Structure 1
Amino acid sequence: MSGVTVSLTDSIDPALQSAISDGLGSYNAEMGGARDRKPLTIAIKSPDGAPLGGLVGRTSMGLLFIDLFYLPKELRRSGLGSRILTMAEDEARARGCGAGVLYTVSFQAPDFYKRHGWQVLGEVAPRDGSTRIFLTKTF
């Protein structure tokens, strides 16, 4: 294509992100049917309403994607993480998902997910020594 430029940056341009997301969504709808991407968020808030953590993900084309999941240290090992993960899985099932995917880092929570039936799909070990662990679960 004449006149096209290509550039690399370390910042996110919202217009570019929309162009990519919308273009990919249209292509996916054309090739695979209706676009069913839907955000999934579970918030944890303090008594005064301040956000403390939670889960951010989405469902799309029959899969649950867990993108971010964070609990402050003082809320860990209380059963809250299990409750949130179960809520996300239950909502995914209600939306017609048959499986889920996520990734965690070796120093984060791989054993937590394994205890909840998630299975290792693969691992990537970059030079820094922090292995990325990709997990999946069939619902």
Structure 2
Amino acid sequence: MAVIFTPVHTHEFAELAKQKIAEFNALHWDASKRQQLGLKLENENGDLVAALAGRTFGHWFYLESLWLDETVRRKGVGSKLLAEAERLAKSRGCSFVILDTLDFQARPFYEQHGYKVEWTQANYPFTGCKHFMTKQL
């Protein structure tokens, strides 16, 4: 039997592949316990000035995104946002946080809050670095 692979370079196909893995994983654990965790801060005009998004699952909180508008940076907002997310994750039974950050993003910020670099992916995407960090809550 000949095996012929067909290139499919679309977002839709990538989502289908993820769905197939999710179906396989569902045979081994209850993914319904995975919960989104999000926090936002708006200014007096209703404009978004801070956002944090991630998900909790089992003992882990995966912090996917933490963004601050320039108007609130270096004013303690990021620290308060991170602390509140960690508090919520802990209340859901999480003992650990995992995240990744690029070398020009927030590694020093996370280190100041007790995160440790577990692994660095060099030459990402070409000449930079992507740091994978964890923290025990």
TM (norm. structure 2) is 0.84
Q: How does 1:71-82 map to 2 (within 5 A)?
A: 71-82=68-79
Structure 1 unmatched runs, 5+: none
Give the one of 42, 50, 54 matched to 2:51: 54
Which of structure 1's runs of 4+ aligned residues deviate more than 6 A? Answer: none
C-alpha displacement of 1:36: 1.2
Identical-pair percentage: 29
For 2:21, the equivalent position in structure 1 comes to 24
CA distance in 2, matches of 1:57, 1:34: 15
For 1:66, the equivalent position in structure 2 comes to 63
* In the alignment, structure 1 residue 132 sits paired with structure 2 residue 130: yes
SS of 2:24's equivalent in the other structure is: helix
Give the one of 101, 118, 132 matched to 1:104: 101
CA distance in 1, matches of 2:114, 2:80: 14
Query: Which residue identity does 2:128 align to in structure 1?
Result: S
C-alpha displacement of 1:70: 0.7
CA distance in 1, matches of 2:44, 2:24: 44
CA distance in 1, matches of 2:47, 2:71: 15
C-alpha displacement of 1:110: 0.4
TM (norm. structure 1) is 0.83
For 2:84, the equivalent position in structure 1 comes to 87
Give the one of 106, 115, 123 matched to 2:112: 115
CA distance in 2, matches of 1:39, 1:21: 17
SS of 1:78's equivalent in the other structure is: coil
